[in-house]
Amino acid sequence: MTKDIVHTAIDVGTSKVSTLIAHRHANGDVDVLGVGIAPSEGLRKGVVVNIQEAQEAIRTSVAEAKRSAGVNPSSAYVGVSGSHIEVFPRWGSLRSLMYNAPLSPSEIDRAVDAAFPAELPPENQVLHLIPRLYAVDGLKGVRNPVGMHAQRLDVETLCIVGQTAPIQNLVTAVENTKINVRALVASPVSTGEASLSRDEKEMGVTLVDIGGGATTVSVYQQGCLWNAAVLPLGGYQFTTDLAVALNTPYDTAEELKMRHGQASLDTIDDENVEIQAFGDRRTVRVERRVISRYLHDRAEELFRLVGLKVKGFGFPAMPPAGIVLTGGGANLPGIERVARRILGTPVRTADPVGVDGLPEGMLDPAYVASAGVLLWGTRHLASLDSVRKEERRLNKTSGYAQNTTGPLSWLRERVRKVAL
């Protein structure tokens, strides 16, 4: 097995760091060779707040994946999350000099180039610039204009930016473990890659990834990512609600949530649970109904926020293919029912799809983002020699951060779209 067909993805979440090492077959199938999961340290709300702690968790996760795969990767695709991620549309256009010649991929590249937000302040940087739709001589809704005759080409792109400081902290934490960051993959992109069907993406669907410290809300429509936002709220807040309300340590509240919690009140019984509490009383009895009431209220609040976000994206009603839930928080029993009631739309929970050989324990919504980072890398960067060449060229001319998070990521998206 040669080195360039082994792909590594690292998802540094608030709760866990997961590393996947995989082999991409010539037919595009992706087979996992090894995995490593380590509890996260040094992250809050999806971003690194302590580089030292974060890098130790990354090191542990990568070492375990290396051991189980028997491969020693030197670079990886890395997932980026956090509420510093912003998404907005950008337009670019190009006037073709030769009306009779069909549009070439390089002309399409130039139209997308024109959408690059050059005026972005240095505290922000581009993670992705994803072409959505083209207009050819004013004819709107064209998905792939290669080969069409036109004088003017307009492109509508979705620009995903993040704050430079948290991105740099993440890159430093990963690179301190001697792994080069090959590309950064933002959570709205990664979660959709490993969970949604083509039909859902076409019809319009809202993907809600409920992580430990952040919830990514992404709307897909007409086959591509349409808009997204990251809310600074996740499973951590569900647990903190219990800890504060029941005067119990965070870890006890987390265990309580995992073992006895449910978000829906419809099917709850009258059972009592004994818990360890702060103060001189060592244990207290709590009704399961009480525990679930707090989780239910938090879940309602979360889905109301999701509804407001989707409205804010410009959708008067929820997209017709409904809601797809991912992230560890989607495992809370009854959460689908709450989402259905608050948002009035079909709901399903997704395990990772599109990757073979995941261990059974990872066939869980919590690993959709990790699988998505891997799939994005293998699908969009795998055989793009031109990108590698560009990477080498950029490596010679500028600093690392710019290469991995600025023009290069954007270039990769551009090449991907043209390659479709």
Ligand X SMILES: Nc1ncnc2c1ncn2[C@@H]1O[C@H](COP(=O)(O)OP(=O)(O)OP(=O)(O)O)[C@@H](O)[C@H]1O
Secondary structure string (H, E, C) spanning the chain: CCHHHEEEEEEECCCEEEEEEEEECCCCCEEEEEEEEEECCCEECCEECCHHHHHHHHHHHHHHHHHHHCCCCCEEEEEECCCCCEEEEEEEEEECCCCCCECCHHHHHHHHHCCCCCCCCCCEEEEEEEEEEEEECCEEEECCCCCCECCEEEEEEEEEEEEHHHHHHHHHHHHCCCCEEEEEEEHHHHHHHCCCCHHHHHHCEEEEEECCCCEEEEEEECCEEEEEEEECCCHHHHHHHHHHHCCCCHHHHHHHHHHHCCCCCCCCCCCEEEEECCCCCCEEEEEHHHHHHHHHHHHHHHHHHHHHHHHHCCCCCCCCCCEEEECHHHHCCCHHHHHHHHHCCCEEECCCCCCECCCHHHCCHHHHHHHHHHHHHHHHCCCCHHHHHHHHHHHHHCCHHHHHHCHHHHHHHHHHHHHC
Looking at beta carbons only, is 103 or 256 nearer to ligand X?
256
Q: How far is the CB of 411 from Mg ion (least distance, A)?
A: 26
Looking at beta carbons only, is 79 or 131 nearer to ligand X?
79
Looking at beta carbons only, is 254 or 336 nearer to ligand X?
254
Is residue 372 a contact point for ligand X (CB under 6 A)? no
Among 92, 204, 211, 322, binds Mg ion (CB under 5 A): 211
Q: Round to whole Å and give the CA distance between 174 and 163.
A: 17
Site stretch for ligand X (CB under 6 A), options 13-21, 48-56, 87-95, 274-282: 13-21
Looking at beta carbons only, is 82 or 211 nearer to Mg ion?
211
Total chain residues near Mg ion (CB under 5 A)? 3
Q: How far is the CB of 240 from ligand X (least distance, A)?
A: 10
Residue 213 interacts with which of Mg ion, ligand X, none, CB < 5 to 8 Å by class: ligand X
Looking at beta carbons only, is 75 or 83 nearer to ligand X?
83
Interface mask (CB under 6 A) for ligand X, residues 322-351, using x and -?
-----xxx-xx-------------------
Residues 1-30 that bind Mg ion (CB under 5 A): 13
Looking at beta carbons only, is 229 or 286 nearer to Mg ion?
229
Residues 359-388 that bind Mg ion (CB under 5 A): 369
Residues 76-135 that bind ligand X (CB under 6 A): 81
Total chain residues near ligand X (CB under 6 A)? 26
Among 73, 131, 166, 211, binds ligand X (CB under 6 A): 211
Q: Round to whole Å and give the CA distance between 373 and 367.
A: 10
Q: How large is the angle between the packed helices 368-380 and 407-419, nearest 10 degrees? A: 70
Residues 100-139 that bind Mg ion (CB under 5 A): none
Residue 332 interacts with which of Mg ion, ligand X, none, CB < 5 to 8 Å by class: ligand X
Looking at beta carbons only, is 107 or 254 nearer to ligand X?
254
Q: Round to whole Å and give the CA distance between 87 and 385.
A: 28
Q: How far is the CB of 329 from ligand X (least distance, A)?
A: 4
Among 42, 46, 188, 322, binds ligand X (CB under 6 A): 46
Looking at beta carbons only, is 223 or 249 nearer to ligand X?
249
Is residue 235 a contact point for ligand X (CB under 6 A)? yes
Q: Are 173 and 58 in contact (CB under 8 A)?
A: yes
Bridge-partner residues for 207, per DSSP?
A: 218, 324
Residue 61 interacts with which of ligand X, Mg ion, none, CB < 5 to 8 Å by class: none
Among 258, 317, 363, 420, binds ligand X (CB under 6 A): 258
Looking at beta carbons only, is 190 or 409 nearer to ligand X?
190
Binding site for Mg ion (CB under 5 A): 13, 211, 369
Binding site for ligand X (CB under 6 A): 13-16, 40, 46, 81, 211-214, 234-236, 239, 254, 257-258, 261, 327-329, 331-332, 366, 369
